[in-house]
Chains A and B, each alone.
Chain A
Amino acid sequence: MSLTKATHWLKGYVLVEVSGKNPERLVNLCLISGFPVWGFSADGRSVFFYTTLPKYRTIHKLARKSRCIPRIRRRFGFPFIMSRVKRRPFFLLMAAFMFAGLIYMAGATWAIQVKGNETVSETDILRTAAAAGLIPGARKSALSPAAIEAALLKEHPELTWAYVHFQGTLAVIEVVEKTRPPTELPGDVVAARDGVVTSVLVLSGTPVVTPGQTVKAGDVLIAGQPGDARTGARGTVVALTCYEVYRETDLYDQVAVRTGRKAEAKILRYAATEIMFAGKHNEFEWYEVEDYPEFSLFKGTDKELTVLTRVFYETEWVPRKVTQEEAIEVAKQEAMEAIERKLPSSVKLVDLSYETLIVQEGVIGIRLVLSVEEDIGRIRPWPESKDLNGG
């Protein structure tokens, strides 16, 4: 709504019907007198127009001059609404009462939300908050978020942080719980793999093996003390172990060779979006791609705009005989990658050896053996420990 229309509405305006021999003369007199008039229309017998309420009250003088009869057909604006409302005092009273009630209710908390809890139940948190005064219907001005937070941290030692804030009539309680390290059950230290023991470090329990001894997976390395005393074994047992992997590879390979055919496309690239605006889409089954930038704007920014030519070179697979040395290198690399995936992070490489085998015509095999030193001990809990702990 424009400012003029808003002003007219506030002052009030009317739709006037003018009938008579010369309504145009009345319009001209209104214009000369500075009347604001607008929205003219006619229905053949009368002319209709809008004017403001204060000005209409003075229109009769002009109407007499032009020998026309003006009548109000409709009324618009704030003064008319107020006059209707004044005749209904109870309506005004109820409206004021409702407004006051709305303001009052907006100052209270009507819903409470809890976020971030995992082990502590929402019911417990709400109960503690309620004891500190945070209940639905409580006045926000009477609540102290700091006191509620302190009560939560005191009542629930599993919590490390609590924050209470309001979003309108919603109270939000955000909590963060403490993270405890996993508890080890008592048991013996046993070997996770076969190996030759090189060192034993006992923190608690009785050592069963000595350096130089060969152990198998599952053998007890450090014994704990079950029974009433229940002291679990702890310690580190380092042993020399082996990892072995076998890989085969062909002496024939395939390489991609360009056929000479190509297709070009012009690409407009903006950030991560590409649009092809000229050229053809790639139709080759096997191809290599190369991009040749033509020019760039805003280089180095995240809004870089680049025009480039993308060339698709058709390729075909051509068989090629691989030398034995090349085949051995490929197999060794694959074998190393396979072994490294199995190795724990804290190992010390002692020795690496490989053996080449001709499996059949055109196929060569590689056996890779890695000798490492690593901690092979792991805790095997006693059966009673699991039962007592619900295992």
Chain B
Amino acid sequence: MLRKIKQDLAEILELPLDVSLDLPKIVIIGELGVLIQNHRGLIQYSPDRIVVGVGEGQITVAGESLKISEVNQEDMIVRGRIKTVQMST
């Protein structure tokens, strides 16, 4: 309920939802890379599967030769041959 109010308020005030609702933002660049903003840490890492914690769920990036080229407390860039990006709550 509170989340619904916050979402409606953000829409009315035209605020960016990812910032106002503390949501992750995922940008996929073809099959070359994925940018994940506002993450909560690395859950699993392997060359064909990376699981990243976000907000109330997690994001799974599956592919081949996956590497995390850059990471800090807020953002993470995954490079490699991306096959699927899945979000689960």
Contact = CB atoms under 8 A, between A and B. Distances in A.
A40 B45 contact: yes
Given A28-B41, A28-B42, A44 B47 contact: yes
Contact of A39 (B41, B43, B69): B69
Interface residues of A, number: 18
A44 B42 CA distance: 16
A94 to B, nearest CB: 40
Contacts of B46: 42, 44
Main secondary structure of the interface of B (DSSP, over half): strand
A164 B70 CA distance: 59
Given A38-B70, A39-B69, A24 B43 contact: yes
A39 B42 contact: no
A32 interface: yes
A24 B69 contact: no
Contact of B42 (A27, A34, A36): A27
Given A31-B73, A32-B73, A41 B42 contact: no
B47 A40 contact: no
A43 B47 contact: yes
A42 B47 CA distance: 6
B86 interface: no
Interface string A5-41: 0000000000000000001100110011010111111
Given A24-B42, A28-B41, A28-B42, A38 B71 contact: yes
Contacts of A24: 41-45
Q: Which of B43, B46, B71 counts the most chain A CB atoms within 10 A?
A: B71
A38 B45 contact: no
A62 interface: no
Given A43-B47, A44-B47, A38 B42 contact: no
A34 B72 CA distance: 8
Contacts of B69: 38-40
A47 interface: yes
Nearest to B74: A31
A28 B46 CA distance: 15
Contact of A31 (B44, B67, B72): B72
A42 B45 contact: yes
B85 interface: no
Interface string B11-43: 000000000000000000000000000000111
Nearest to A27: B42
Interface string B40-77: 01111111000000000000000000011111110000
Interface in A125-165: none
Interface of B: 41-47, 67-73
Interface of A: 23-24, 27-28, 31-32, 34, 36-44, 47, 49
Given A27-B45, A39-B68, 7 more contacts: A23-B45, A24-B45, A27-B71, A28-B42, A31-B72, A31-B73, A44-B47
